[in-house]
Copies of this chain bind each other. A is one copy, B any other.
């Protein structure tokens, strides 16, 4: 009963197959391999962005940090939510890669509203040379708390940012899950909404470690390439990154994987709705379920073999409500979900 993250599961056989296909004879290194040509072409088609610069890196942290470093100056600030991965879970990587830019936390929790963003932007950047300059907006889709922005939401945020001349970065570690959940096209969810650089994650959706960075304005591409190399993120045997992403794109594998993960979460949510003694927190249709339950129930579930994260004040006593996070990946067996559900009160 593994719900700890979508980075714990295996990769589908199709990925292994393209790795094997790639593993043949000599290939040009550093991204000049033919599979990267395929990836580039497929991603440009998928995003309806024939001019976009397309790069692969192996981790989400590097994808985000390199993207931000290409968008902002060291004396700038990046607007993001207090829950953003770039703020909470990257050990200051954005500050490192940008040369010391700041992150300004937009109030209001996990899902940014235009009003909160406007207030944050107005609150920064009005002290002339004394304060950090307004640098970029960073939004996350699916959000860290499992919520979604539909394309109109994103456009509203981007429009606001553009009104201040701010470029926009999309942390799309789970972009595939969002696209499936919302039925939107990659273009609608990115450049058509005003996104300048989007990370199209593969790692959390079935790859070993491969993230595509879509830079919709190719004028920024060369700087990205230099920063990627300088960060040690340019792979010499690049074909093994390309192979993963090629497999992901061929036959819409990414859609199948995201659909499976979202479907698992929907099924889990459905089963949990029948149970007593807990409260579902988010209703988004992606692959993460947050629920509130007493500490005692969490303890029971975890002792029975359910692996997932709990947050909240652990000193609150037996009945204090704590929040559990259940992440479903594409490979999660339905009977594991059933086993989990069977542990819940009233089932």
In the complex, chain B residues whose CB is within 8 Å of the CB of A223:
73
Q: Once the chains are docked, how many angstroms separate the CA of A75 from the CA of B90?
A: 10
A102 and B99 contact, Cβ closer than 8 Å, known pairs A7-B29, A132-B92, A234-B59 = no
A30, A102, A226, A234: most-surrounded residue (chain B CB, <10 A): A226
A227 and B75 contact, Cβ closer than 8 Å, known pairs A19-B19, A23-B11, A208-B240 = yes
A296 at the interface (CB under 8 A from B): no
A232 and B10 contact, Cβ closer than 8 Å, known pairs A16-B19, A127-B88, A227-B75 = no
- Closest Cβ of chain B: how far from A226's Cβ, in Å? 4
A209 at the interface (CB under 8 A from B): yes
In the complex, chain B residues whose CB is within 8 Å of the CB of A9:
25-26
In the complex, chain B residues whose CB is within 8 Å of the CB of A97:
232
| Residues A215-251 near B (CB distance < 8 A) | 223, 225-237, 240
Q: What 6 pairs between A and B have smallest CB-CB spacing?
A: A62-B232, A95-B100, A7-B236, A61-B232, A2-B26, A208-B240
Return 25 A-B CB contacts under 8 Å, by A number: A8-B28, A10-B23, A11-B23, A59-B234, A61-B234, A62-B231, A66-B232, A73-B226, A75-B226, A76-B92, A88-B130, A88-B131, A90-B130, A90-B229, A91-B229, A92-B230, A93-B229, A93-B231, A95-B95, A95-B100, A96-B100, A96-B230, A129-B226, A129-B229, A133-B226
